[in-house]
Amino acid sequence: MPSKIPARKSILIVAGETSGDLLGAAILQQWNKKGGKKLSFWGFGGGLMKNAGVEILRDIRELSVIGFWEALANYKRLSSYLDELVDEAAKRNIAGAVLIDYPGFNLKLAKKLKALKIPVYQVVSPQLWAWHFSRIHTIRKYVDRVLCLYKFELKMYQDHGIEAEFIGHPVVQKIADFQKSHAGEIARLSRPKRKYRKVALLPGSRKSEISRHLPFLIEVAARFHQLHPDTLFEIPSASDHTSVLIGQYRLPAFISVREEAPYMTLATSDSAIVCSGTATLECALFNLPFLLIYKTSWATWFLGKKLIRIPYIGLVNILRNSFVTKEFIQSDMEESAVFTELENITFDKDYIAKMQNEFAKVKAEVYSKNPALLAAAFFSGVFKN
């Protein structure tokens, strides 16, 4: 545990995406229980962090960009936001900064904050093991400690003389809570009580992801349903915004959208087609066989191929360092190939069992009882009066 820092006026906290807003709010709720409410919090985040007591200067909706070229196009605007935060931090004489994920922005911010001698803590390690490993030198210079979601990341930081803590992935606790609170409904909606097969379709949540993935998923589902008419498809929607985007497409009768308790789709499906992202890890933790698809702009993909250090993009494959699940990316996202793999993960029992055996190992890599509690305990110790 690092030495305790005398509390001054406030703590800067920055989250640039929905997942960071969720984790930030959970940490603050636990932090307040440990006496953190003696401090005030301000920064960038979303509605959940606002409800947890953070003074939000800019909402995550102003910060969200995806892809290299998209980030470049928004560089000037985001740079002005960064300068805005640094100026405010200097005025407020803050005790420290808690930066959650969002590394492209937060590591630049860390450098500027350290110039003001402000302690900086990064929650969620950048994916250095996948791409842009050179960032580790920036972290060593400007970040006091990294709170990691994956166990293997600890050694990476220790090998480079960087302080790090493992807190586990927050989605583990979230899924465990859901399974416990909805056990009866899950049992009722799962096979064999449910006679038909169900395939989960997860096209992503951003407009660009939905536009590139959903029409393709509709085509695959139509072909699959024609050959296997006892199969229905369900799209989980975690927000009103996502529902509106999905609603712009005409869905056939055999594809439905679940807006309430979207995890119920993963808990009760037989297989899934998933856009790359945290949803792939969620499927593994639900023990749900899946295949991964992803398509982005060709400019972004071309640059990404130059920078990515490993042969896969899915979290499950990264954590196991092998192709546990098949990935269909860019030109490989072809209907016949995806259709064939969907049959494998829906009907081939031996194939499914082998995949699920790897899922159990993935859970061990990310498991902790309560990541938000561990993070809050760390911060309450650092900033204790």
Residue at 4 is within a domain: no
In the chain, how many domains are there?
2
Is 281 domain-assigned? yes
Domain assignment present for 5:
no
Judge if 70 and 215 occupy the same domain: no
Q: Are 274 and 351 in a shared domain?
A: yes
- Residue 2, in any domain of the structure: no
Residue 192: asked if its preceding bond is cis (omega within 30°), the reply is: yes
What is the per-residue pLDDT for 3? 46
Tell whether 161 and 178 lie within a shared domain. Answer: no
pLDDT score of 68: 47
pTM: 0.84
* Residue numbers in the chain where pLDDT is lower than 50: 1-8, 67-69
Q: Are residues 140 and 209 in the same domain?
A: no
CATH code of the domain in which 111 resides: 3.40.50.2000
Q: State whether 182 and 287 are in the same domain.
A: yes
Terminal-to-terminal C-alpha distance of the chain:
15
Distance of CA 310 to the CA centre of its chain: 19
CB 11, CB 97: distance < 8 Å: yes
Same domain, 344 and 372: no
Contact at 8 Å (CB) between 148 and 167? yes
Same-domain check for residues 229 and 377: no
Q: What pLDDT, on the 0 to 100 scale, is given for residue 79? A: 86
- What was the pLDDT predicted at 290? 98
Residue that the structure tokens 């024609």 belong to: 226
Domain residues for the domain of 336 are 173-366
Residues 194 and 295 in one domain: yes
Report the alpha-carbon distance of residue 168 to residue 368 in Å, rounded.
Answer: 5
In a shared domain, residues 47 and 188: no
Would you state the pLDDT for residue 107?
A: 95
Say yes or no: 313 and 231 in one domain. Answer: yes
The CA–CA distances, whole Å, from 18 to 63, 84, 102, 170, 179 equal 10, 21, 10, 13, 22
- Whether residue 162 is found in the same domain as residue 216: no
Q: Are residues 257 and 117 in the same domain?
A: no
> Looking at the domain assignment, is residue 1 inside a domain?
no
pLDDT at 131: 75
* Tens digits of residue pLDDT in 272-311: 999 988 899 999 999 999 999 999 877 776 766 666 767 8
Report helix, strand or coil for 237. coil
